[in-house]
Amino acid sequence: MQSRFKLINIIIVLIIFSAIFFALGIYFGLKKEPEVNKVTSLFNKSSELVDQTNFEDFWKVWNLINEKYPSVEEISDQEKIWGSISGLVSSLNDPYSMFLPPEETKLFEESINGKFSGVGMEIVKKDGIITIVSPLKNTPAYKAGIKSGDKIIKIDDKTTSDLSVEGAARLIRGEQGTEVILTIFREKDDETKEITIIRDIIAIPTIETEVLPEGIFVIELYNFSADSTNLFRDALREFINSGTTRLILDLRNNPGGYLDSAIDITSWFLPLGKSITIEDFNIPEKEKIHRSKGYDIFTKNLKMVILIDGGSASASEIVAGALKEHGIATLVGEKTFGKGSVQELVNISSDTRLKITIAKWLTPERVSISENGLIPDVVIEPTKKDLEIGGDPQKDKAVEILLNQ
């Protein structure tokens, strides 16, 4: 009888331990839940479970490719997965959201670090066409005559209609000293033209200063890099020491960069707490207002014009929009590019990345940069003759405005 009770006790203990381990298994299993389970447990806007037949269709296509495509053995399963993810991201129809496989990740990180071999321009896919945001100052693309808004129809012999941004960038990049031929279409021209560019090591320029004969100080800012805040501070010191109160900030062909740099640079001209830009997540309670740090050293007598054009994008539009709406600067030039969205870079694996749009930029007066771009106070469009003779009617107009203030 005693041995029987002992056996029952052992069984009870085993049951208790089994229950404990089962509960722990559920707890840790949920914490390490596979991504696919997270997907199938999501609710869409109609509060219905994700339709499992969609995934059946996916696997049906996967199997048909393996069965029927003649050269399927040349494509690894991993490459097919990367292609699938790229297709998923492209369904957003957002030119700034993209999946970066290993090779594109490497190219992207090289460009962020500031030195790489290529032609020196930023591109996006706009309305289904590979489009140039702007060429960087003094790079091969700039010297070859590439303009903001140029549409790339072909890269060498490859048409771009089916290329992603990362695919186009991979073809344009190449070894120093080699050439790439871009067939581009420019809206003001009647036909396409071929432009041959010799690739080189691209050291992204940041800033230049000069004092014009009229006694006007000019700061040309080419990008909003991590270094631009310190370089801009040094440029402002030069401006103060020059003895003039008239300033031209040239943001033409500046494709943007770091938000922190844009906030810091704008803060030199605004009191503490003034709105610089609004980060709109399309959810009112998540909205974030980025405010001036209040350096505000130009409290009296500053006369300022900001030059903008179709190559002014992102951080350039944030700075120009804020200083215009707070009455600090007059905008002269052409409508800006209209890149008013916020991207987050997410590590998907050790060598792949997802760049995804998470919000939109609004000006302090809640104008959507992405939808409208910025319209200058004074619109000046250079003519072909201006370009041929090296004239700069936009800067000339800025000088005229400042001298008459």
Q: What residue ranges do the domains of the chain occupy?
A: 2-32, 95-203, 207-403
Q: What's the Cα-to-Cα distance from 136 to each of 13, 85, 167, 314, rounded to whole Å? A: 73, 31, 20, 15
Q: Tens-of-pLDDT digits for all 405 residues of the chain?
A: 555 545 555 554 445 545 544 555 545 454 455 555 545 444 444 444 456 656 888 889 999 999 999 999 999 999 999 999 999 998 998 888 999 999 888 877 776 665 678 999 989 888 889 999 989 888 999 999 999 999 999 999 999 988 888 889 889 999 999 999 999 999 878 899 999 999 999 877 789 999 999 999 999 999 998 889 999 999 999 999 999 999 999 999 999 988 999 999 999 999 999 999 999 998 888 899 999 999 999 877 899 999 999 999 999 999 999 999 999 999 999 999 999 888 888 999 999 999 999 999 999 999 999 878 999 999 999 887 887 788 899 999 999 999 998
What's the burial of 6, exposed, middle or buried (CB within 10 Å: 0-12/13-18/19+)?
exposed
Q: 235: helix, coil or strand?
A: helix
- The owner of tokens 């021209």 is 189
Does the pTM of the predicted model rise above 0.85? no
Check if CATH label 2.30.42.10 holds for domain 95-203: yes
Q: Which helix (H) or strand (E) holds 5?
A: helix 2-31
Looking at the domain 207-403, which fold is it? 2-enoyl-CoA Hydratase; Chain A, domain 1 (3.90.226)
Helix, strand, coil tally for the chain in percent (to 5): 40, 25, 35
Distance CA 110, CA 97 (A): 19
